[in-house]
Copies of this chain bind each other. A is one copy, B any other.
Amino acid sequence: MACHERGPEVVMEHDLEQTMAVLERTPGTLDALVRGLPDLWTMRNEGGESFTVFDVIGHLIHGERADWTTRARLILRHGESKTFDRFDRFAHKRESEGKTLGELLNEFAGLRKQNLEEVRSWKLGPGELAKRGRHPGFGPVTLSQLLATWAAHDLTHLHQISRIMAHQYRELVGPWRVYLGVLHCKGHGAQAAEQ
């Protein structure tokens, strides 16, 4: 991980292999974590309109189909001249209907593999990573930021899944509740689903 000085602060350079290393591990991680789990863990939410684990996997699938590589291609082809479409945070509700969790996990793994192959085929260098596109809310963003966010977005949903699951045991743990950090993590569930 190379660093270079830019004014008073040290800025970390984006090494795409570090990002790919996370992205390629996520399907296997989710598979190991939730495939075959009893519904208690995967079909319950944190109350209200919050996501279940099943919803989160559906949301990740929609991202593979409609967000990450779609936006990356837009940056590479059109730069800032075309604004990204807004991401539909509820599309997965329709798209996941009637499917099993196992089917969603398979679908996610297949799409992710295909998308990472596509990204590798672009043979991105520093010039491409610095290219800018236009986000409907933020304005200019770089391809580097988009790809780093793809990996961090996986991590934010892994974080969310562990929290949704732990929530189901909030009473059963009795007095240990005070020591379990995951049970005190609140207020960013909705944010985490945004893009």
- A residues contacting B by CB (< 8 A) are 1, 11-12, 14-15, 17-18, 21-22, 25, 28-29, 31-34, 36-38, 40-41, 135, 138, 141-142, 144-145, 148-149, 151-153, 155-156, 158-160, 162-163, 165-166, 169, 171-176, 178-185, 187-189, 191-192, 194-195
Distance A15 CA – B169 CA, assembled complex (angstroms): 11
Q: A165-B155, A180-B192, A192-B181 are in contact. Are A37 and B12 (CB under 8 A)?
A: no
Distance A34 CA – B195 CA, assembled complex (angstroms): 25
Q: A32-B31, A159-B162 are in contact. Are A191 and B179 (CB under 8 A)?
A: yes
Chain A, interface SS category: helix
- Are A138's CB and B175's CB within 8 A? yes
A152: chain B residues at CB < 8 Å are: 166, 169, 173, 176, 180, 182-183
Distance A109 CA – B143 CA, assembled complex (angstroms): 38
Task: Select A162's contact among B18, B162, B180, beta carbons within 8 Å.
Answer: B162
A182: chain B residues at CB < 8 Å are: 152, 155-156, 159-160, 188, 192
- Are B192's CB and A12's CB within 8 A? no
A165: chain B residues at CB < 8 Å are: 22, 155
Nearest Cβ in chain B — how far from A162, in angstroms?
4
- Are B22's CB and A135's CB within 8 A? no
Interface centre among A160, A163, A194 (most CB of B within 10 A): A163
A142: chain B residues at CB < 8 Å are: 174
Nearest Cβ in chain B — how far from A4, in angstroms?
13
Can you give 15 contacting A-B residue pairs, CB < 8 Å?
A12-B172, A22-B37, A25-B37, A33-B158, A138-B175, A142-B174, A145-B175, A148-B169, A149-B173, A152-B182, A156-B182, A158-B158, A159-B181, A160-B181, A181-B192
